[in-house]
Amino acid sequence: MKIRPQRLQQGDTIGIIAPSSPPNQESLEKSLAFLEQLGLKWRFGKNVKNVHGFLAGTDDERLADLHDMFEDPTIKGIICAGGGYGSARYTDRIDLQLMQENPKIFWGFSDITFLHTAMGLYSNLVTFHGPMLASCVGKESFHELSAKMFQQLFEPMELHYTEAITPLETVAGGIARGELVGGNLSLLVKGMGTKFELDTKGKLLLIEDVGEEPYRVDGMLNQLRMAGKLADAAGIIIGDFADAEPRKGKDSLTLAEVFDHYFGNLGIPVVKGFQIGHCQPHFAVPLGVDAQLDANERTLTILPGVE
């Protein structure tokens, strides 16, 4: 069993870090009002406003902020300002033992997938795949359901995703139960062949991505297939694949055809259409907890992520 972090209380202080690319500072400032509405205080990492090319500060600076927030007993949870690129550059230097000894809420998605995977594998920690402050919360498009998903941090609650939220489509039928793992598809593929390679054996694999044409998604799924990651999984949860249209004038398979090719005959339940990923609303989920995917009824049930 993974370690579930302690729930948040009104008045708790959240640490805000930028583990990857520089966040939009205006959107980040706007997002703070939402944290106030939740009854939370916040503290920025020392390097949140740093810019180092396409990175939010040097690798050492971003790593220091991550370590500082886990070490500080006054910080009860950590929410990432944004994603982009760069968290994998220092993942092999993270003190993952520190996180196991100081378990707390860690929330983000997209490029943060690399950190989720590392913490799941080596800190034995439940983490949260959810919308980030500058890239989601501080924008006008931030959806009411996305906002509601933060309540799972204050009270242990079972999450239920049904077609009352969005239409879902069964790619392959059946029912499967297992630990929920995964996240951004391109980041999962980048972990292959490293010590941060995702373990999918007997697990429910969540995938999502943004801005990837069907042939790129095909290539990534083929790599997971050849590595045995798809056949090992108990079930597949297909999140949002935004901006996945092929370039104009280019012959292409549709994304649906790509998914059918890799998942149609796997012999495990597969459902697509979940609003999990680079989308609004963004249905936030804990990673590392048990979940059940019912592809016949098109439902996903996820156990609580906090104690």
Q: Region 204-224: what's the mean pLDDT?
A: 98
Q: Is residue 178 pLDDT above 80, yes or no? A: yes
Of 34-48, 50-64, 156-170, 235-249, where does mean pLDDT reach its minimum?
235-249
CATH placement of domain 159-302: 3.50.30.60
Distance CA 287, CA 206 (A): 9
Q: What is the pLDDT of residue 49?
A: 96
DSSP reduced 3-state for 298: coil
Q: Is residue 247 pLDDT above 90, yes or no? A: no
Q: Is residue 249 pLDDT above 80, yes or no? A: no
Q: Is residue 125 pLDDT above 90, yes or no? A: yes
Q: What is the pLDDT of residue 297?
A: 98
User: Which tokens in the block code for residue 296?
Assistant: 């016949």
- pTM of the predicted model as reported, rounded to 2 decimal places: 0.97
Q: With contact defined as beta carbons under 8 Å apart, do 169 and 272 qualify?
A: yes
* Spans of all domains in the chain: 13-153, 159-302
Neighbours of 302 (CB within 10 A): 23
Q: 257-301, pLDDT tens digit by residue?
A: 999 999 999 999 999 999 999 999 999 999 999 999 999 999 999
Q: Region 134-145: what's the mean pLDDT?
A: 95
Q: Region 202-228: what's the mean pLDDT?
A: 98
Q: Region 137-148: what's the mean pLDDT?
A: 95
Q: What is the pLDDT of residue 248?
A: 81
Q: What is the pLDDT of residue 36?
A: 97
Which residue in the list 21, 27, 61, 278 is annotated as catalytic? 278
CATH classification of 13-153 is 3.40.50.10740, yes or no?
yes
Mean pLDDT score across all residues of the chain: 97
Which residue in the list 21, 110, 146, 186 is annotated as catalytic? 110
Concerning whether 141 is annotated as a catalytic residue, the answer is no
Concerning whether 52 is annotated as a catalytic residue, the answer is no
Q: What is the pLDDT of residue 172?
A: 98
Q: Is residue 244 pLDDT above 80, yes or no? A: yes
Q: Is residue 225 pLDDT above 90, yes or no? A: yes
Q: What is the pLDDT of residue 39?
A: 98
Angle at 201 between CA 198 and CA 207, to 5 degrees: 50
% the chain with pLDDT above 90: 98
Q: 55-113, pLDDT tens digit by residue?
A: 999 999 999 999 999 999 999 999 999 999 999 999 999 999 999 999 999 999 999 99
Q: What is the pLDDT of residue 223?
A: 98
Concerning whether 87 is annotated as a catalytic residue, the answer is no
Angle between helices 214-226 and 255-263 (to 10 degrees): 10
Q: What is the pLDDT of residue 19?
A: 98
Is residue 80 exposed (0-12), middle (13-18) or buried (19+ Cβ within 10 Å)?
buried
Q: What is the pLDDT of residue 250?
A: 85
